A = this chain, B = another copy of it.
Amino acid sequence: MEKEGESAPGPATGRAERPPTIYDVARAAGVSASTVSRAFARPGRVNAGTVERVRLVAAELGYRVNPLASALPRGRTSMLALVVSDVTNPVYGEIIRGAESAAAEADHVLILIDAQESVRLERGSLERILLGVDGVVLAGTRMSDSAIRTAARRRPVIVLNRDVADVPGIVLDDRHAMRLVAEHLAELGHRDVLYISGPEASWVNGMRWSGLREAAAALGQKVQRVGPFVPTVEGGRRAASALDAGRPTAILAYNDQQAIGLMRVLQSRGIRVPHDVSVVGFDDIYPARIVTPGLTTVAAPLRAQGEAAVTALLSSRSTPVPSRPMTLPVKLIVRGSTGRRRPLRIPPVALP
């Protein structure tokens, strides 16, 4: 692709003209179309000299193999899809990166679909491209288990952070994460923890809540939860209004976005973090380290998750579906938003 036969015959800069096909190249090179095809698809099958000649002529003509046409008989497109529930969520940035690089390495292109938090849109887009790709990674999908299974029956699918029967998945060790959080808070003296729920349809939300309860129970902490709230900064802001409930000294949000939104409202109300209340997030997205104070949060190996997803997808043609999803490790990143427990004084607040 660096040679780039820029010397295209059609100097017109307007719209596309009919691009050359293998037949055009074949004629110009004095060989048959099959030879041209082979020269590109399986060079070893053709005499080296012929390959070179064909390639040369092709370059002169500005020929490129038409991916659609070649995908049809082959049955494979060399394209993978990554469906995310919301591209504007920084969590996906790293996942995308990981997936993209693994795909590139395997000589596939990764196409990204943004569901914009809409199940309808998600299903629609998925439906449209499903047959056009070699496999799909579902990240943060809002679709039902059965819808996911239906898709998985038609093309290899791998789900992130969710356990769908018969569909391979990659999840985080939420249970362990919750233990880390509970222990950290316990060490700081916190005995009342509030959990801010994410979407009800979220599998991880359930995992985190039950993991937190379990860990807290083992440490003698009391936990409560409020929600659900949307997994965005705005959701965190809204959650602030539920704070009087339970008088927690520490709050764990479903994700960093919520935690950040929450902190902002608290601070604007004069409630100091972590002096008056500690806040913990989940994901360790970039903004978590630029807010003041820095957000204590659970770091997930997002990039690795993206890579693993694509790798698993590509190997799934040969490997049988493992019955249990792959679990990735997490760690706690302690920053400024958590501190020693203080006498509580959170006044009831209401949204403006």
Contact = CB atoms under 8 A, between A and B. Distances in A.
Given A13-B149, A147-B4, A131 B87 contact: no
Given A90-B90, A127-B1, A153-B12, A113 B116 contact: no
A114 B128 contact: no
Contacts of A92: 87
A293 to B, nearest CB: 10
Interface in A106-129: 109-114, 116, 120-121, 123-125, 127-129
A16 B156 contact: yes
A287 B120 CA distance: 29
Interface in A21-51: none
Q: Which of A69, A79, A87 has the most CB of B within 10 A?
A: A87
Interface stretch (A53-61, A94-102, A195-203): A94-102
Nearest to A293: B292
A155 interface: yes
Nearest to A103: B125
16 contacts: A6-B146, A13-B166, A14-B153, A15-B317, A16-B153, A16-B155, A68-B77, A68-B132, A69-B72, A78-B128, A88-B97, A110-B114, A111-B113, A264-B290, A287-B287, A290-B290
A109 B94 contact: no
